[in-house]
A and B are shown apart, each in its own frame.
Chain A
Amino acid sequence: MIFPKIKILHSHGWQYIPDLNAVELTEEFRGRPYLTATADMRDVEAAAQLCPVKAISTQPFSLDMGKCLFCGECALRAPKNISFTNDYKISSTSREALIIKPGDERVEFHPEQTREQIYQLFGHALKLRQVSAAGDASVEMELNASGNVNFDFGRYGIEFVASPRHADGVVITGPISQNMAEALEICYNSIPDPKLVIVCGSEACSGGLFADSKAIDRSFLDRYKVDLWLPGTPTHPMTFIDGVMNLLRLKTR
């Protein structure tokens, strides 16, 4: 009975990524968009027309990652103007910083916008309670993966906990359905102060495809300030880890 286990261990080898800062995602990965303004903007207009979530503005030219579902179709329609890089560092402390303008080569991250006590208290140990409010399970699986054998964010003291009473903040996924609005509020109120609000995934940032659906209730976000915005469909584990580490001032962008 021990031999099959040794065999697994042998094949498994070393899966832990020793230095997460050195991680580079595959070229195909669609991360931070890069925009170039040209004299002829007809391609961009066509792309903006097709964009299923109206994330592209033409006057002035910009792309809102909080809405973007990273399908990449605009880059095919307007290859001279829009391209997607494999840069996964796309989180920010403000919603406005998710709007990419021509020439932007990085997403602004302003840790000073976060209350001082956040990194003072949680810099070494951050416990989070996740609430899926109509998330489609992909964002949730990526959050699970952030703690797995490869990414292991537990090494930074970041951990998901079962009870909101044990948590320092809430991570919201999904566009927030009416049917989950009350449960989300109760969960948030159960977390002791001071607490964080993190929204994870483009659907959580803007409502995504469901922004205009009658089944959605996003009033929670009008009442509480969001500390960290994480775009993506779903948010890649590296985006999540990078965002939280920046928030805790464990690294700077």
Chain B
Amino acid sequence: MKYFITDNPNAAVAIADIPEVEYAALYEDLKERLADSRYHVAHYFARPEENRLKFYLILLDDVKHKIMVSSFAMEYYDDIALPSLTALHPQMHPFEREIAELFNVEFDSMPWNKPLRFPHNRRNRNSSMDNYPFYTIEGESLHEVNVGPIHAGIIEPGAFRFICNGENVLHLEIALGYQHRGVECEFTKTSNRLRQTLLSESVAGDSAVSHAVTFSQTIEKLMGATTDENLNIERTVALELERMAMHIADTGALCTDVAYQLGQVACEALRTVVINTTQAWCGNRFGKGLIRPCGTNKPLTAAKIELIRKNVTDVRRRYNEVKEDIESSPTILARFEQCGLVPKAEMLRIGGVGIASRASGASRDIRASHPYAAYINKIEHQAVKMHDGDVMSRLMMRCHEVLQSADYILQLLADYTPANISQPDYTTPLRGEMLAVGLVEGWRGEICHVALTDKSGEVSTYKVKDPSLHNWLGLAIAVRSEGISDFPINNKSFNLSYCGHDL
């Protein structure tokens, strides 16, 4: 089958150059390729183009470090059902569900044909949050536990329906969409690029830097602009600081849930140091305001570099002490080990990405497979991997990655001299009729943005994919056959985004 083949730093293509194939060819090709873990789908979406519905596929080849783009089209009002790819490869489920929800496309023998996020522009207005078709099992010994949408803590909303046999979970279904704000539509309603940048920062507030870098890289590709070495280094430092902060927060949250208070308060204090460092750099604890297309308003200075190095060194040492204590405390290990298992084969089948997938032994890390910014030439990233796929592995992923990120920051800043970094660019026109892909490894995993422009260079379609889109199913699988009281530690070990999923 024909693909347009490119790589992450150059992922922009004229829409006219994207091959258009028959669905049958695409189906046969993906049927084979997706059986090999070397390939996975980064995005698959549809949009109306005149009287046709055009589907775009962004496929990643992790071994050859390539991004493969292809497409097919059908008549907008065609009543043909497409054979479902989800039936073969469950990793396709969120994409097919989104297309079905937005355009009423029927996928033949789709095993999980359910609403994805109840967007405001869904085709079927009768489908609403109140009538989500939860899976049910009949049985005298079974009961259902319904949690949400509002949860006990200060977190985002989502509805969880457990089917339990006694205290054990037989099945968990997660219904999302409560957080839907219409992010993707807002991108196309404005030509104010600063507004678009701020939208990217608010896709998921805990990944503000990651999504803003993904947006900036996507837009820079549409401009045909290249970013200078120093900007790449500073962006990478910001990305790794965000990763440190969130991994430390999650470590603390896991400690909280097993009543290990020392780990909890130590991590709270350490996260404060990291986010206050980000605040001292750019004025915001989440890095909002730092990442801008083609430049930044907040370049590093000698004093800020010194502060980052000092704080990161200190946090690295103190966090390592928490890690060592966790590893030597049997009461903690008893809760985390062999709990919430997701085997590697299962993780690959559902298309898991990021730390959750690496905890199960899969090598999904965009920094290594599709390098960008300073990972291209400054850092030779070796992805951390664990094997068991349990809560402990997902916690240890964080423990190792915090130390790795600290090392990367110190390495990048060791011989870095702040130099003139360009100002943000909000005005250079984008190239018309182009498609560009941005791929970044956020702290949760693979973030993918796809932008398409019209003839006049305005963004006509903007697609956002947060790693949570794939990994929510991983959480549902992890808790099967576990005690329902272990749900909180499983949930924290994934810590997925609701707003990143609901958009």
Shortest Cβ distance from A90 into chain B, in angstroms? 14
B160-192, CB under 8 A of A: which get 1 and which 0? 000000000000000001111110011001101
Q: Are B262 and A136 in contact (CB under 8 A)?
A: no
Asked if A11 is at the interface (CB within 8 A of a chain B CB), the reply is yes
A213-241, CB under 8 A of B: which get 1 and which 0? 11110000000000000000110100000
Q: Are A7 and B181 in contact (CB under 8 A)?
A: no
- Known contacts A12-B318, A132-B157: does B149 contact A180 (CB below 8 Å)? yes
Asked if B155 is at the interface (CB within 8 A of a chain A CB), the reply is yes
Q: Which of A22-30, A95-103, A191-199, A244-252 faces chain B?
A: A22-30
Count B interface residues, CB 8 Å: 70
B278-294, CB under 8 A of A: which get 1 and which 0? 01111111101100000
Q: Are A134 and B198 in contact (CB under 8 A)?
A: no
* Minimal Cβ-Cβ distance residue in B for A9: B262
Q: Are A30 and B284 in contact (CB under 8 A)?
A: yes
Q: Are A8 and B322 in contact (CB under 8 A)?
A: yes
Asked if B269 is at the interface (CB within 8 A of a chain A CB), the reply is yes
B253-270, CB under 8 A of A: which get 1 and which 0? 000000000110110110
- Known contacts A130-B154, A138-B286, A179-B180: does B195 contact A52 (CB below 8 Å)? yes
* Minimal Cβ-Cβ distance residue in A for B249: A141
Contacts of B214 in A (CB 8 A): none
Shortest Cβ distance from B292 into chain A, in angstroms? 9
Shortest Cβ distance from B296 into chain A, in angstroms? 12
**Contacts of A1-25 to chain B: CB distance below 8 A:** 1, 4-5, 7-9, 11-12, 15, 25
Q: Are A26 and B156 in contact (CB under 8 A)?
A: no
Contacts of B198 in A (CB 8 A): 52, 69, 71, 209
* Minimal Cβ-Cβ distance residue in B for A49: B192
A24-48, CB under 8 A of B: which get 1 and which 0? 0110111000000000000000000
- Known contacts A8-B266, A137-B204: does B297 contact A73 (CB below 8 Å)? yes
Count A interface residues, CB 8 Å: 66
| A183 partner, pick from B120, B157, B272, B282, beta carbons under 8 A | B157
Contacts of B285 in A (CB 8 A): 142, 234, 236
C-alpha gap A76/B205 in the complex (Å): 24
Shortest Cβ distance from A237 into chain B, in angstroms? 9
**Contacts of B226-285 to chain A: CB distance below 8 A:** 249, 262-263, 265-266, 268-269, 272, 276, 279-285
Q: Are A52 and B262 in contact (CB under 8 A)?
A: no
Q: Which of A107-115, A118-126, A145-153 faces chain B?
A: A145-153
Pick from B265, B280, B497 the residue with the most CB of A within 10 Å: B265
Q: Are A141 and B205 in contact (CB under 8 A)?
A: yes
Pick from A11, A133, A208 the residue with the most CB of B within 10 Å: A11
Q: Are B156 and A132 in contact (CB under 8 A)?
A: yes
* Minimal Cβ-Cβ distance residue in A for B177: A179
| B280 partner, pick from A26, A69, A149, beta carbons under 8 A | A26
C-alpha gap A162/B151 in the complex (Å): 8
| A178 partner, pick from B120, B265, B268, beta carbons under 8 A | B120
**Contacts of B186-214 to chain A: CB distance below 8 A:** 186, 189-190, 192, 194-195, 198-199, 202-206, 208
Q: Are A137 and B156 in contact (CB under 8 A)?
A: yes
- Known contacts A141-B205, A150-B268, A215-B119: does B182 contact A234 (CB below 8 Å)? no
Q: Are A52 and B120 in contact (CB under 8 A)?
A: no
* Minimal Cβ-Cβ distance residue in B for A26: B280
- Known contacts A141-B205, A179-B178: does B269 contact A15 (CB below 8 Å)? yes
* Minimal Cβ-Cβ distance residue in A for B198: A52
Shortest Cβ distance from B116 into chain A, in angstroms? 12
**Contacts of B131-157 to chain A: CB distance below 8 A:** 149-150, 152-157
C-alpha gap A215/B499 in the complex (Å): 13
Asked if A205 is at the interface (CB within 8 A of a chain B CB), the reply is no
Q: Are A4 and B192 in contact (CB under 8 A)?
A: no
Asked if B121 is at the interface (CB within 8 A of a chain A CB), the reply is yes
| B272 partner, pick from A150, A187, A236, beta carbons under 8 A | A150
Asked if B78 is at the interface (CB within 8 A of a chain A CB), the reply is no
Asked if B35 is at the interface (CB within 8 A of a chain A CB), the reply is no
Asked if B3 is at the interface (CB within 8 A of a chain A CB), the reply is no
| A180 partner, pick from B157, B186, B204, B426, beta carbons under 8 A | B157
Shortest Cβ distance from B180 into chain A, in angstroms? 5
Q: Are B157 and A136 in contact (CB under 8 A)?
A: no
Contacts of A11 in B (CB 8 A): 266, 317-318, 321
- Known contacts A136-B204, A179-B180: does B120 contact A215 (CB below 8 Å)? yes
Asked if B328 is at the interface (CB within 8 A of a chain A CB), the reply is yes
Q: Are B272 and A175 in contact (CB under 8 A)?
A: no
Contacts of B288 in A (CB 8 A): 69-71, 138, 233
Contacts of A7 in B (CB 8 A): 321, 324-325
- Known contacts A180-B157, A187-B150, A214-B182: does B426 contact A50 (CB below 8 Å)? yes
Q: Are B317 and A210 in contact (CB under 8 A)?
A: no
Asked if A79 is at the interface (CB within 8 A of a chain B CB), the reply is no
Q: Are B281 and A1 in contact (CB under 8 A)?
A: no
B93-130, CB under 8 A of A: which get 1 and which 0? 00000000000000000000000001111000000011
**Contacts of A136-173 to chain B: CB distance below 8 A:** 136-145, 148-150, 160, 162
Contacts of A180 in B (CB 8 A): 149, 157, 178-179
Shortest Cβ distance from A141 into chain B, in angstroms? 6
Contacts of A4 in B (CB 8 A): 321, 324-325, 328-329
Shortest Cβ distance from B342 into chain A, in angstroms? 23
Contacts of A233 in B (CB 8 A): 202, 284, 288
Contacts of A62 in B (CB 8 A): none
C-alpha gap A20/B282 in the complex (Å): 23
* Minimal Cβ-Cβ distance residue in B for A232: B284
- Known contacts A28-B281, A183-B149: does B317 contact A52 (CB below 8 Å)? no
**Contacts of B449-503 to chain A: CB distance below 8 A:** 497-499, 502
C-alpha gap A214/B118 in the complex (Å): 13
C-alpha gap A1/B120 in the complex (Å): 54
* Minimal Cβ-Cβ distance residue in A for B265: A149
- Known contacts A4-B324, A150-B272: does B179 contact A177 (CB below 8 Å)? yes
Asked if A243 is at the interface (CB within 8 A of a chain B CB), the reply is no
Contacts of A5 in B (CB 8 A): 262, 325
Contacts of A143 in B (CB 8 A): 154
Contacts of B195 in A (CB 8 A): 52-53, 209
- Residue positions of A touching B, CB distance < 8 A: 1, 4-5, 7-9, 11-12, 15, 25-26, 28-30, 50, 52-53, 69-73, 76, 84, 130-145, 148-150, 160, 162, 174-175, 177-180, 182-183, 187, 203, 208-210, 212-216, 233-234, 236
9 contacts between A and B (CB under 8 A): A8-B263, A12-B269, A15-B272, A28-B281, A73-B194, A177-B178, A210-B186, A215-B182, A215-B185
Closest 6 CB pairs of A and B: A138-B205, A52-B195, A136-B205, A215-B182, A162-B152, A4-B325
